[in-house]
A and B are shown apart, each in its own frame.
Chain A
């Protein structure tokens, strides 16, 4: 039981490049989330998926897109990376009933 896994762990991009962050969970959770973490700002929700087949914007969705590929997988895409997107990205999942979330180990992204 791996919980929530994220790939890659580290990534360096140049401004304007694109990439996809992958997330998978093996806990049969209905809901999945993408957050970014910046110093002094806690976690901010980018997008979430309440259940398979649905996605919704969070607090800071601009510059990102998501895909809920199936119940297990939820990917985050940066179409044209900007230095402001330098951050640590966390994926999380939740049973959808009891509301606590289970987090992956994070992806540290640097955009130069």
Chain B
């Protein structure tokens, strides 16, 4: 069965520092991969997605993610974090057929001044 693991429950970074959030997945075929962000009290918003092609994908708000098949990973990165990036981040994998998406448990990002 498909699964998504986000090893870090929470991460704290200083404003201006770089960020990498880890995501590992288990899926037999080529996965459809997503990163979503959830601000407090809000629904989830899509940051970026990978379906095929270039393994480095760019998203909104300056985020990017790299698909590494050999490591079954899809880590999210940002070169310089802003205080407004403080939120919870969810990695997700789309099941074949596209009707089901499996979400990781989330990583909460704290940004310190």
Contact = CB atoms under 8 A, between A and B. Distances in A.
Interface in A6-55: 31, 40-45, 48, 50
A42 B90 contact: yes
A106 B100 contact: no
B22 to A, nearest CB: 15
Given A31-B99, A43-B103, A99-B101, 18 more contacts: A42-B104, A43-B44, A45-B101, A56-B99, A58-B100, A94-B98, A94-B99, A96-B99, A98-B51, A99-B32, A100-B46, A100-B49, A101-B101, A103-B43, A103-B44, A105-B43, A106-B42, A106-B43
A2 interface: no
B9 interface: yes
Given A31-B99, A43-B103, A45-B100, A99 B43 contact: no
Interface of B: 4, 9, 32, 34, 36, 41-46, 49, 51, 90, 94, 98-101, 103-106
Given A48-B100, A99-B32, A99-B101, A4 B43 contact: yes
Nearest to B98: A99
Contacts of B49: 98-100
B84 to A, nearest CB: 19
Interface centre among A48, A100, A106 (most CB of B within 10 A): A100
B98 A103 contact: no
Of B41, B43, B105, most A-chain CB atoms within 10 Å:
B43
Contact of A40 (B9, B90, B94): B9
12 contacts: A42-B90, A43-B90, A50-B99, A92-B43, A96-B98, A97-B98, A98-B51, A100-B46, A100-B49, A102-B46, A105-B42, A105-B43
Contact of A42 (B32, B99, B106): B106
A88 B36 CA distance: 17
Nearest to A102: B46
Contacts of B105: 40-42
